């Protein structure tokens, strides 16, 4: 599990409460997740990893509930690598690291 920074957490809460609009990217990603995995997401955060001399990125997927969150793992603390690869391929980002958050 990845812990969210305060800015992402506040933004996600606003989306969940219906006080903030979802971005077109979030809407597209949400629709794809529902069609592909039957998982509802609340928000996404795309960021560059803070590792010196690297050009890798991470897509944090904030999932609405525990049941959906667990669908993205093979077992506790072991994310489904096939899902991660499918997500990365869908969005054509070769160096995309995926994490799931709740």
pLDDT digits (tens, 9 = 90+) for 52-98: 888 888 888 899 899 999 999 999 889 999 999 998 887 764 455 56
Contact 64, 6 (CB under 8 A): no
pTM of the model: 0.77
């Amino acid at each position: 599990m990845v812990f969210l920074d305060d800015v992402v957490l506040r933004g996600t809460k606003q989306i969940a409460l219906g006080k903030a609009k979802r971005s077109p990217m979030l809407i597209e990603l949400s629709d794809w997740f529902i069609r592909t995995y039957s998982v509802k997401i609340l928000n996404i955060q795309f960021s560059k990893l803070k590792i010196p001399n690297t050009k890798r990125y991470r897509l944090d997927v904030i999932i609405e509930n525990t049941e959906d969150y667990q669908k993205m793992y093979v077992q506790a603390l072991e994310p489904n690598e096939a899902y991660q690869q499918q997500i990365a391929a869908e969005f054509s980002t070769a160096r995309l690291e995926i994490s799931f958050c709740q």
